[in-house]
Structure 1
Amino acid sequence: MAQKLRQNTDHNKHPKQDFQVERLAFFSDAVFAIAITLLIIEFKIPHVTKESSFDDVWKQLVDLKYNLFALLLSFFLIVTYWMRHHFLFKHIHNYNKKIVVANMIMLLPIIFFPFTTAFFAESVDNKNVVILAFRFFLANHILAGLSIYILYWLAIVKHKEYSFEMSIPERKKFTSGLLFTTITFSIIFSVTFLTDNVQAILWVFLACGISKTIFDKFVKRNTTKNNVNII
């Protein structure tokens, strides 16, 4: 079907159409790469002097534990968003202004990840601020998920002529995984307004994470039967 669609559109295709689509993808890749790289900036090198002892330096490293946790979590999630974006551009072969704008809007929450990640990591020890920082962190991911879904809807659903056909199992796996993650973050975001107990919120976060793992395995088992090969 995809090959047939390509044959039908090749006769009126602009000579630089493929290049422009790749250019849009490359620009997006660069934004993702920079956002991931900037996550490490908050890892300050331990201050070492001639008088520094092993225990002093080790303590400085241990104090970075929350930064490490936030970095690994954000790294995993940014990579997940990139993989979904990469999967979309495997199907997109043309574009219009709406798709370009949607792609740029999708990149906006991505560039905020280094800030919200650092804010959350630095606020963990402050009970008065940590909830606010965590809300920013969650809102960042909610917006990222919604913006990628909008890009998917515009390029794959509304303007089908700009993309190769995506099979029903592929659509189900893509949309269910994306919406499940976004809804999960929305639930946790709502819980932060019901309680300021950080431990309780983290338990909810952990429960949602376990549910997501089980959900992914369930979807993978079903889509494997249809030989679906998407990320």
Structure 2
Amino acid sequence: MRTERGLDRLVFFTDAVSAIAITLLILPLVDSASVAVTAHHSVERFIGDNLGQLFGFVLSFAVIARMWAVHHSLFEHVAAYSRTLFILSLFWALTIVFLPLPTEMLQFPTSTITVVWYIGTMLLSSIALLLIAVTVRRHPEISPEDNPMQARGVFGISVNAIAFLVALIVGVAVPVINFYALLLVLLASPAMLIYDRVMARRA
């Protein structure tokens, strides 16, 4: 196991990566605004010409914020870290810092490639979170005694990963749906309610 200071630095690093990735999302829109001002375009025209970019920014911001929140909550159950946890966190950071690129690719005509790159990146990020959760769950020595990783948390992250996988399959298999397949991720909340009811009945 590594030191507590090393764990803090790992958490700070992933936090910084998330903040930078979110910041990078807005930069193309800032550049577009500068070009529009130079060309003397109206605000209405700028918004109309960049609706796709604005939608991509808001969606990717929400995804990164959500992924960071899950990562943050996961590390509430971590008191020490292993090499495996370190590598998985770096892999998760890679998916987050990469997301601004497929977000910008939304400006291309929608195709199988753009859907795979965009939703696929989110899927990889959710898989990384799931692997982190499983690692923490299976190695209780990593968790503080008073706040271990619970099965419910692993289940919730599993549902998210499955939802992104199904969204990717649907988005590719049914081109007319494409990115709207991400709405399937909203089913994670009802799934958690069902899980809680089942567990309550068993208890």
TM-score by length of 1: 0.73
> Could you tell me how far 1:140 is from its partner in structure 2?
0.2
Query: What CA deviation, in whole Å up to 9, does each residue of 1:128-167 have, x standing for no partner?
Result: x43321211011011001111111222232x211112556
Query: What CA deviation, in whole Å up to 9, does each residue of 1:1-21 have, x standing for no partner?
Result: xxxxxxxxxxxx98xx22221
Corresponding position of 2:137: 156
User: What is the root-mean-square deviation in Å for CA atoms of aligned residues?
Assistant: 2.7
**Percent sequence identity over matched residues?**
24
Corresponding position of 2:84: 98
Q: Which amino acid aligns with 1:47?
A: A
| 2:131 pairs with 1:143 | no
Q: Which amino acid aligns with 1:58?
A: E
Query: What CA deviation, in whole Å up to 9, does each residue of 1:76-134 have, x standing for no partner?
Result: 111111111111211211122222112111211111111011112x02xx2xx433212
Corresponding position of 1:171: 151
Kept in 2, the 8 Å contact 1:106–1:151? The answer is no
Query: What CA deviation, in whole Å up to 9, does each residue of 1:35-71 have, x standing for no partner?
Result: 111110120215225x8364xx421222111111111
Alignment of 1:24-63 (within 5 A): 24-43=10-29, 44-45=32-33, 46-49=35-38, 52=40, 54=42, 57-63=43-49
Distance change (3 Å), C-alpha of 1:177 and 1:53? same
Q: What is the CA–CA distance in structure 2 between the aligned matches of 1:105 and 1:94, rounded to whole Å?
A: 18
> Could you tell me how far 1:203 is from its partner in structure 2?
5.3
1:48 is paired with a residue of what secondary structure?
helix
1:47 is paired with a residue of what secondary structure?
helix
Distance change (3 Å), C-alpha of 1:143 and 1:209? closer
Corresponding position of 1:118: 104
Q: What is the CA–CA distance in structure 2 between the aligned matches of 1:37 and 1:219, rounded to whole Å?
A: 36
Q: Larger Cα Rg: Structure 1 or Structure 2?
A: 1
Q: What is the CA–CA distance in structure 1 between the aligned matches of 2:41 and 2:135, rounded to whole Å?
A: 58
Alignment partner of 1:211 out of 182, 187, 190: 187
TM-score by length of 2: 0.82
Structure 2 unaligned residues grouped into runs of 5+: none
> Could you tell me how far 1:205 is from its partner in structure 2?
3.8
Distance change (3 Å), C-alpha of 1:107 and 1:204? closer
Q: Which amino acid aligns with 2:187?
A: S
Distance change (3 Å), C-alpha of 1:20 and 1:186? same
Alignment of 1:193-208 (within 5 A): 193-197=172-176, 200-201=177-178, 204-206=181-183, 208=184
Kept in 1, the 8 Å contact 2:137–2:148? The answer is no
> Could you tell me how far 1:219 is from its partner in structure 2?
5.9
Alignment partner of 1:191 out of 162, 170, 178: 170
| 2:106 pairs with 1:130 | no
